[in-house]
């Protein structure tokens, strides 16, 4: 068992990482069940695949599933209303711990619902995708998407526990695994050059399902995120903003492709990281050698590394326009996460969107 504590005072919690942890979930979830029952939010696909396994593990209590359709469309006002109404119909109370059992969409949606019902109740993250295990389940950011953009309505609401079982990834679609892997690489690019070197040698094992390599990569990414969250829980000092490396570009790419299956979030982050490195090199703060190294690694993981792959070349103005709704925008300016090299990310508030548009118009 790998145990990583997120030290946030009275909001501190543990992230437990172990193969087969789902089958031992009773040890951790039964004690927090109110009156012998657990309210759980999942999507229809995850529940069909893994619901029976979880219910078997929690046979001594009643599990009440609240299901939403799989996909980003559920992370919406309508999806939130569905979950909130169902929770109240089941008699939710502030002493409940709502279990989020699914990928990033479910975690964000269930977490936001937990933040607002009865002015806030507890919740537990049991992430079932690699992206959720290494990123969205940790740190307490919860949100839904609105017409103006992705994740623009939400709350900081820390979970009370996160249970990460890498064995759940064994049946995950390989494309989803690759998308989640992009977030692991992102942590290395932010502040851990040694991890990036390790991934260059072991990334293929992580993607292929090697249990030891996959667990080590997940633990390293989670520990990296926990350190940054501890330093800047509410993203007020600028430190936590580093976690958005690749995301300002990535969210614009997702918006331009209609938040569709054409581009998964992790795929957008991969291309967004490549663009952040290339833009940093154009501004003279990062070497072209590091740009090539990052691009090569994402290519080896079969992740998108060029606008041409998505048919988005020449759309600089449209992509920059999406960035006007970025959550990091303040005082009329968008803060960009740029790099001085691998493992050396920093916040730059001097970037002009017109310069970004010109750069993107020239990008392949």
Q: Residue 165 in contact with residue 22, Cβ under 8 Å?
A: yes
pLDDT score at 326? 73
pLDDT score at 333? 80
The enclosing H or E element of 127 equals strand 122-127
Four-way CATH pick for 2-170: 3.40.50.10490, 3.40.50.720, 3.40.50.1970, 3.40.50.11900? 3.40.50.1970
Q: Residue 192 in contact with residue 220, Cβ under 8 Å?
A: yes
Q: Residue 187 in contact with residue 135, Cβ under 8 Å?
A: no
Q: Residue 306 in contact with residue 259, Cβ under 8 Å?
A: no
Q: Residue 337 in contact with residue 245, Cβ under 8 Å?
A: yes
CATH architecture under which domain 174-362 falls: Up-down Bundle (1.20)
The predicted-structure confidence for 247-268, as pLDDT tens digits, reads as follows 999 999 999 998 888 999 999 9
pLDDT score at 193? 97
pLDDT score at 317? 95
**Using CA atoms, how far apart are residues 172 and 70, in angstroms rounded to an integer?**
14
The residue ranges of every structural domain in the chain are: 2-170, 174-362
Helix (H, G, I), strand (E, B) or coil at 328: coil
**Using CA atoms, how far apart are residues 201 and 205, in angstroms rounded to an integer?**
9
Q: Residue 57 in contact with residue 24, Cβ under 8 Å?
A: yes
**Which residue is listed with tokens 């299901």?**
67
State which residues of the chain have pLDDT below 70. 327-332
Q: Residue 328 in contact with residue 241, Cβ under 8 Å?
A: yes
pLDDT score at 327? 63
| Active site residues per annotation | 119, 141, 183, 225, 235, 240, 244, 247, 251, 265
């Amino acid at each position: 068992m790998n145990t990583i504590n997120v030290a946030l005072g009275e909001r501190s919690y543990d992230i437990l990482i172990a193969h087969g942890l789902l089958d031992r979930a009773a040890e951790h979830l039964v004690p927090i069940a109110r009156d012998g029952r657990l309210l759980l939010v999942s999507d229809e696909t995850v529940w069909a695949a893994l619901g029976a396994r979880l219910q078997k593990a929690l046979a001594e209590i009643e599990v009440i599933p609240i299901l939403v359709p799989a996909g980003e469309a559920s992370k919406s006002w309508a999806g939130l209303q569905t979950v909130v109404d169902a929770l109240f119909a089941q008699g939710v109370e502030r002493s409940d711990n709502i279990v989020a059992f699914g990928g990033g969409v479910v975690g964000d949606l269930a977490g936001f619902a937990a933040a607002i019902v009865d002015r806030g109740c507890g919740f537990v993250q049991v992430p079932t995708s690699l992206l959720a295990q290494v990123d969205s389940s940790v740190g307490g950011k919860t949100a839904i998407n609105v017409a103006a953009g992705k994740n623009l309505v939400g709350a900081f609401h820390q979970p009370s526990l996160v249970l990460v079982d890498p064995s759940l990834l064994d049946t995950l679609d390989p494309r989803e695994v690759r998308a989640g892997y992009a977030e692991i690489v992102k942590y290395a690019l932010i502040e851990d050059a040694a991890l990036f070197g390790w991934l260059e040698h072991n990334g293929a094992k992580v993607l292929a399902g090697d249990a030891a390599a996959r667990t080590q990569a997940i633990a390293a990414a989670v520990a990296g995120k926990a350190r940054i969250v501890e330093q800047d829980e509410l993203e007020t000092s600028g430190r936590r903003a580093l976690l958005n490396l690749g995301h300002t570009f990535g969210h614009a790419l997702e918006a331009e492709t209609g938040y569709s299956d054409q581009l998964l979030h992790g795929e957008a982050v991969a291309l967004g990281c490549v663009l952040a490195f290339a833009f940093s090199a154009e501004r003279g703060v990062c070497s072209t050698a590091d740009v090539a190294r990052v691009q090569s690694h994402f290519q080896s993981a079969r992740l998108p590394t060029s606008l041409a792959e998505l048919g988005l070349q020449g759309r600089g103005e449209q992509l920059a326009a999406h960035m006007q709704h970025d959550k990091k925008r303040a005082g009329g300016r968008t803060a960009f996460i740029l790099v001085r090299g691998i493992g050396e990310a920093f916040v730059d508030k001097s970037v002009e969107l017109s310069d970004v548009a010109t750069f993107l118009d020239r990008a392949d």
